[in-house]
């Protein structure tokens, strides 16, 4: 009997409860890897889009031209582009109202950017709690299967008149597979959760820094416009 056949035979001969626990752990592992791959693609795209936007924004392009170009895009606007679009759109709307003072114009743009930034971060953090849950609960689920399997093995051993290692070893081995599967599901989930949480924090810091720098630019433009609108004083 080969090792592979022996391994699968242990699973096939396990009790129904242990088999169900193994099935749950297998589903958790598959779900975790789906989240891992999905978040890798999303975060990689978010970092690339942020790099591209910052290159365009600090290249000296006119803000109105950048706003018009982003607004004309057919694909959905997200990330730093969405934050800029929301802030500059609110800035233009408030600036067109002559009764609004410059402080209120900038404050309104800041609120619009923060609201959009919060939504963008919520999207980036989506499904991350699933990894945290898988990493924290999978070992305990596997341990429950191990305890149940060992308990059954010793109960079966108790009804025999002569106990031998050959009689108890298969039951213990099949029970320990549940622990191994729990660790197999938990370890990648914990590793990638920590990595992706760090990546989201870094993107959040980049968004926050951009909002502060963009607010300063809007503040200078707002005060410059007010000076140009102010009536000339008589000498």
pLDDT at position 14 over 50: yes
- Mean pLDDT of the 10-23 span: 80
Would you say how long the chain is, in residues? 235
Tell me the residue range of the domain where 141 lies.
Answer: 3-60+128-227
Whether 195 is covered by a domain: the verdict is yes
Backbone angles phi, psi at 78, to 5 degrees: -150, 175
In a domain, 165, yes or no: yes
Task: Assess if residue 84 is contained within a domain.
Answer: no
Residue 122 resides in a domain = no
Number of domains the chain is built from: 1
Location of structure tokens 């949480």: 197
Is 39 part of a structural domain of the chain? yes
Give residue 159's pLDDT: 61
Residue 96 covered by a domain: no
How high is the pLDDT of residue 228? 56
Query: What's the pLDDT tens digit per position in 132-185?
Result: 999 999 999 999 988 888 887 777 666 665 656 566 666 677 778 888 899 999
Q: Is the pLDDT at 26 greater than 60, yes or no?
A: yes
Per the domain annotation, does 70 fall within a domain? no
Q: What is the pLDDT of residue 231?
A: 47
Q: What is the pLDDT of residue 5?
A: 43
% of the chain at pLDDT higher than 70: 82
What three-state secondary structure class fits 159?
coil
**Per-residue pLDDT tens for 109-135?**
999 999 999 999 999 999 999 999 999
* R_g of the chain, CA atoms, integer Å: 30
Crossing angle of helices 16-57 and 165-229, in 10° steps, is: 20
Does any domain span residue 77?
A: no
In this structure, of 1-15, 28-42, 116-130, 163-177, the range with the lowest mean pLDDT score is 1-15
Read off the pLDDT of each residue in 99-114 and give the average, rounded to a whole number. Answer: 87
């Amino acid at each position: 009997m080969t090792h592979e056949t022996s391994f699968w035979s242990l699973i096939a001969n396990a009790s129904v409860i242990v088999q169900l626990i193994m099935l749950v752990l297998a589903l958790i592992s598959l779900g975790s890897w789906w989240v891992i791959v999905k978040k890798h693609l999303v975060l990689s795209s978010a970092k690339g889009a942020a790099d591209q936007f910052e290159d365009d924004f600090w290249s000296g392009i006119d803000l109105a031209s950048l706003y018009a170009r982003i607004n004309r895009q057919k694909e959905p606007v997200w990330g730093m582009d969405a934050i800029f679009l929301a802030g500059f759109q609110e800035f233009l709307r408030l600036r067109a109202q002559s009764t609004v003072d410059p402080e209120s114009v900038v404050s309104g743009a800041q609120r619009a950017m923060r609201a959009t930034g919060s939504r963008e971060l919520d999207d980036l953090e989506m499904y991350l709690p699933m990894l945290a849950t898988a990493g924290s609960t999978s070992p305990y689920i596997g341990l429950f299967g191990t305890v149940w399997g060992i308990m059954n093995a010793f109960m079966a051993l108790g009804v025999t008149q002569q106990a031998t290692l050959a009689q108890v070893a298969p039951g213990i081995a099949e029970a320990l597979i549940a622990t191994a599967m729990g660790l197999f599901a938990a370890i990648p989930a914990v590793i990638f959760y920590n990595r992706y949480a760090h990546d989201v924090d870094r993107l959040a810091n980049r968004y926050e820094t951009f909002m502060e720098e963009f607010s300063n630019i809007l503040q200078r433009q707002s005060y410059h416009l007010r000076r140009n609108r102010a009536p000339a004083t008589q000498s």
